[in-house]
Structure 1
Amino acid sequence: MDAVESSKTHRLYLLLKERILSGALAPGERLPGEPSLAAAHGLSRVTVRRALDGLARDGLVTRLPGTGTFVSEPPGRPKVVADLANMFAHLVAMGRATKVKLLSFSYVVPPPAVAAQLHLAPGERTQASLRVRYYEDVPFSYLSTHVPERIGVTYSEADLANRPLLELLERSGVVAARAEQTISATLAGPESAAALGVELGSPLISLTRIVLDQEGRGVEHLSALYRPDQHAFHMELVRAGDGLDRHWRPTTGAPSPAANVNATGSAPAQRPKVRPGRKT
């Protein structure tokens, strides 16, 4: 498939996927046939067929030879939901509700940006790891962490493969006091695409978090990528203040019963929830 045809296939795939996920195409609804889709979008039938095959591969449609292509029923498995307003209370719970595969474990001199955010001395090493977290055998997060070596030496590779990182940090005597967190979007590169089981260039949720102790020292740098179809942030807000100072404020109470698994959090200013997830 040349680059032009590949691009056309991907555009049609994304268009139909968006219509399915938005509800414009309902479960059980029959999609127009290949000739109709080809004519409507100015594409060849081969390009249309490849786009439909991609949707079928991702479980969004069911293709029945001689009958047509139908929108699949949404999976019954819930997404992972993380409470950003109360992150530390739920990180370990998320870790226990999911499972992790440890891809790498080593001690390295971190990139300059990571070293600066953790307030490390020049040349100071970190315990670096790559992990993939799964919920019901489906990968939903790709996690890259850096922990100062003085803390990292308190746990082993086997520990990290079986227990939440926050639990290991607390076991070492670390008190996580606050965090700075940024959430944005990015596209899957070769390594993250392979780890998360998505196509190269697929959209991902990107989260960066720096955890600090009571003295303001960095104890963990997390760079996490999440599949948007498996992970969601939820935030509950209340109105606060008086007069012109009225504003929305994140709640700090117990998580909503609607949350399936409370996962990664954020800085105090953020208060969403995310889908399946346990350790980060």
Structure 2
Amino acid sequence: MDQPLAFQAPDGGKAQRVYLLLRDEILNGAHADGGALPGELKLAERFAVSRVTIRRALDGLVADGLVERRAGSGTIVRSPRPAPGAVTADFATLMPQVVAMGLSTTARLLAFSYTAPPPSVAQAMGLAPEARVQRAVRVRLIEGAPFSHLTTYVPEAIAQGYSEADLATTPLFRLLERSGVTVERATQTISATLATPDVADALETSVGAALIALTRVVFDAQGRGVEHLTALYRPDRYRLEMTLDRVGEPDSRRWEPVVGARAAEGGER
């Protein structure tokens, strides 16, 4: 497969469920590359659905390039190749990679405004009830292909140090430093979510496609929240890795991240 996956999930609950199950099996290697999937009748029996539902699910897999139909041979599996230019980030050294990411990829600004922060953002950043923030929504691309959807909130007093045009051309981390911010620490969580219509459109994927969700809150040397980031990633174009060492005494050994391990280009801002 020459193009990165687009995840063309079919409409309809049953067809989408079958599609997702078969897609995950193919991506996880349960079906050999070049091998044939079971016939429509067997799949219909396995999933307790009609053959029409199976055909709709298979149509979605064909659109993704995960299978192809061959006359006389059935439905043949085509295991995906890594997407060209896919981004890898070492989780243990994620923050030091922020500037490198900004310089090696491009960004497209989708929205820019000054507004009151959502309550959850204000609470996470420790902002006053009357605080105003700059909200920016961007898509980051590698080799012209979108892989992340970014929503950032920065306190108005800090954000006035750079322009809307700056956000479209310069990594936010550098803009914060240029505005006099000394970053001290950050908290970060990783989870998963499904693509909403606007995010799906920006990332060129289907509504309901699985996405990696990262939330980061950055604090300065005085403990003030200076940035709130929500980043959504296409998992076929972005991945997080972590190197672990086995450390400790023989009776209490544990896994520990290797900080400073060699990191591929990654991170996000």
Report the TM-score when normalising by structure 1. Answer: 0.84
Counterpart among 126, 137, 140 of residue 130 in structure 1: 137
- Give the structure, 1 or 2, with the largest relative contact order (CA under 8 Å, sep 6 or more): 1
Deviation at residue 242 of structure 1 after TM alignment: 2.8
Aligned counterparts of 2:63 and 2:261: Cα–Cα separation in 1: 38
Equivalent residue of 2:94, what SS?
A: helix
Matched, 1:202 2:209: yes
Matched, 1:42 2:48: yes
Question: Once superposed, what is the RMSD of the aligned Cα atoms?
Answer: 2.1
Task: Give the corresponding residue for 1:16.
Answer: 22
Equivalent residue of 1:114, what SS?
A: helix
Structure 1: gaps of 5 or more residues: 265-279
Counterpart among 72, 75, 78 of residue 78 in structure 2: 72
Counterpart among 143, 166, 169 of residue 162 in structure 1: 169
Report the TM-score when normalising by structure 2. Answer: 0.87
Counterpart among 254, 261, 266 of residue 262 in structure 1: 266
Equivalent residue of 2:186, what SS?
A: strand
Equivalent residue of 1:206, what SS?
A: strand
Distance 1:68 1:243, change over 3 A: closer
Aligned counterparts of 1:152 and 1:51: Cα–Cα separation in 2: 47
Task: Give the corresponding residue for 2:125.
Answer: 118
Counterpart among 230, 236, 254 of residue 229 in structure 1: 236
Aligned counterparts of 2:202 and 2:72: Cα–Cα separation in 1: 36
**Contact 2:92 / 2:261 at 8 angstroms: preserved in 1?**
no
Counterpart among 89, 108, 112 of residue 101 in structure 1: 108
Deviation at residue 54 of structure 1 after TM alignment: 0.8
Aligned counterparts of 1:21 and 1:234: Cα–Cα separation in 2: 18
Partner deviation per Cα, 1:67-91 (whole Å, 9 max, x = no partner): 5332224234253211221222101
Equivalenced residue count is 258
Matched residues, percent identical? Answer: 53
Distance 1:138 1:61, change over 3 A: farther
Give the counterpart letter for 1:253 in structure 2.
Answer: G
Counterpart among 168, 179, 182 of residue 186 in structure 2: 179
**Contact 2:26 / 2:79 at 8 angstroms: preserved in 1?**
no
Deviation at residue 65 of structure 1 after TM alignment: 5.4
Give the counterpart letter for 1:130 in structure 2.
Answer: V
Give the counterpart letter for 2:129 in structure 1.
Answer: P
Distance 1:87 1:175, change over 3 A: farther
Equivalent residue of 1:200, what SS?
A: coil
Aligned counterparts of 1:206 and 1:174: Cα–Cα separation in 2: 26
Deviation at residue 177 of structure 1 after TM alignment: 1.5
Answer with 162-171 or 246-255: which moved more: 246-255
Partner deviation per Cα, 1:8-67 (whole Å, 9 max, x = no partner): 101110111111011111222222333443344333232112111111222222334565
